[in-house]
Amino acid sequence: MKILFNYYFIIVIFGFSLFIFSCGKKEQPQSEIPKIDTITSQNQTAGADTTSTRTPDSKITKKDVQRKFNEIKYTFEKEDETIGSTEIKFGDLDNDGKEEALVYYVIVPKGGNITLRTGVVIYKYENDKLNQLLQYDFPYTAFVDKIKDNLLYCVRTEFRHTDPACCPSIKKPFKMKLDNDKLVLADLK
Q: How many domains does the chain have?
A: 1
User: What is the distance between the alpha carbons of residues 93 and 177, in angstroms, rounded to a whole number?
Assistant: 7
Mean of all residue pLDDT scores within the chain: 78
Q: Percent of the chain scored above 70 by pLDDT?
A: 73
Query: Residue 15 above 80 pLDDT?
Result: no
Query: Residue 126 above 60 pLDDT?
Result: yes
Is residue 27 in a domain? no
- pTM above 0.85? no
Instruction: Determine the pLDDT at residue 20.
Output: 60
Is residue 18 in a domain? no
Instruction: Determine the pLDDT at residue 188.
Output: 59
Q: Which of these, 103, 17, 109, 115, lies nearest to 62 by C-alpha position?
A: 103
Is residue 14 in a domain? no
- Backbone φ, ψ for residue 61 (5° rounding): -115, 160
Is residue 16 in a domain? no
Is residue 96 in a domain? yes
Is residue 17 in a domain? no
Is residue 7 in a domain? no
Query: Residue 29 above 60 pLDDT?
Result: no
Mean pLDDT to the nearest integer, 107-122: 90
CB neighbours of 49 closer than 8 A, spacing ≥ 6? 40, 41, 42, 43, 146
Mean pLDDT to the nearest integer, 112-139: 90
Query: Residue 7 above 80 pLDDT?
Result: no
Burial 60-92 (b: 16+ CB within 10 A, else e): bbbebbeebbeeebeebeeeeebbbeeebbbbb
User: What is the distance between the alpha carbons of residues 98 and 59, in angstroms, rounded to a whole number?
Assistant: 10
Q: Which domain holds residue 97?
A: 32-185
The band of 181, judged by pLDDT with boundaries at 50, 70 and 90, is confident
* Alpha-carbon radius of gyration of the chain: 23
Is residue 59 in a domain? yes
